[in-house]
Structures are given as structure tokens and as C-alpha cells.
């Protein structure tokens, strides 16, 4: 489920509709009646927020978190901007990688963008 402007508009509309239902109690002179109406509104707001959180949890599972999506977009841009060599094993564009461990730590090489599905590498020239 998306959380775009339409959903926010629907949420706001629901809150306004609920408040209109409670209007006669919210404008009541009896403080107990007013307090009961506020408690009920808080309950309903809590229900809507829990439902929204559950929906966001499902979206996270389906699409990943914000950082994950940012990394995917950045990697897509890197593949398009640079004229990276093609992977010798699968033909996918390669990405500049840096050796993280061992005697060649810090050296760069071309690694397949499909890693870990493909482990194609070539030396930097
Ligand atoms: Zn490859």
C-alpha cells in the first residue's frame, strides 16, 4: 500500500468525519461528556495510527527501507552515467569496487553489478 498524498487526504478526511460525528459532545457544556468524547477520539486515532504502521511495515518488507532504496537508485545512476566495462561472465555493467581485506586492501577493481549472483571481476586499467 502506498502512502502518497491520496492516503494522507483520506486520513485527514476520516479524522474530520470522526470529529463531525463527535461535534455535539465536543461542544457540550458538561465536562464529563466532553472528556468521554475526547477519549473515544483518541481511541479511534490510535486505531488509525496502528493500521498505518502495519501498512508501512508491509511496505518495508516488500520494497525495503529508505537507505536500501537510496542505494539502489544511486547504483542505477552509476551504471547509466559511467561508461563502465561489461562483465566478462554475464555482460552486465561493472562497478568500481574496493578491496576490503587482505594484502591488496584499498586497491580498486571492476566487479559485476549483479554480484553476488555473478562474481565476474576485471582489473582496473
Ligand atoms: Zn557478471
* Pair 57, 91 in one domain: no
Determine the pLDDT at residue 35: 95
Predicted confidence band of residue 2 (pLDDT cuts 50, 70, 90): low
Cell of 67: 537507505
3 state SS of 124: coil
* Pair 31, 51 in one domain: yes
**Beta pairing partners, 110:** 96, 122
* Pair 117, 91 in one domain: yes
- What φ, ψ does residue 107 adopt, rounded to 5°? -75, 150
Cell 542505477 -> residue: 76
Structural domain that includes position 31: 5-63
CA–centroid distance, residue 121 to ligand 1 (Å): 8
CA–centroid distance, residue 86 to ligand 1 (Å): 8
Q: Give 23-53 pLDDT, tens digit per residue.
A: 899 899 999 999 999 999 899 889 989 999 9
Count the neighbouring beta carbons within 10 Å of the beta carbon of residue 83: 6
Q: Give 45-96 pLDDT, tens digit per residue.
A: 899 899 999 998 998 888 888 888 898 888 888 776 667 889 999 999 888 8
CA–centroid distance, residue 93 to ligand 1 (Å): 8
Sheet order of strands, 94-98 included: 94-98, 108-112, 121-123
* Pair 85, 114 in one domain: yes
Which of the listed residues 41, 63, 85 is the one where a domain comes to its end? 63
Amino acid at each position: 500500500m502506498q502512502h502518497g498524498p491520496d492516503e494522507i487526504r483520506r486520513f485527514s478526511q476520516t479524522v474530520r468525519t470522526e470529529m463531525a460525528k463527535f461535534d455535539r459532545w465536543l461542544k457540550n457544556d458538561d465536562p464529563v461528556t466532553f472528556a468521554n468524547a475526547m477519549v473515544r477520539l483518541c481511541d479511534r486515532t490510535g486505531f488509525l495510527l496502528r493500521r498505518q504502521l502495519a501498512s508501512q511495515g508491509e511496505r518495508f518488507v516488500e520494497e525495503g527501507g529508505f537507505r536500501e532504496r537510496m542505494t539502489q537508485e544511486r547504483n542505477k545512476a552509476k551504471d547509466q552515467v559511467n561508461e563502465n566495462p561489461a562483465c566478462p561472465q554475464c555482460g552486465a555493467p561493472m562497478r568500481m569496487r574496493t578491496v576490503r581485506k587482505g594484502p591488496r586492501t584499498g586497491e580498486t577493481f571492476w566487479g559485476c553489478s549483479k554480484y553476488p549472483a555473478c562474481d565476474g571481476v576485471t582489473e582496473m586499467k
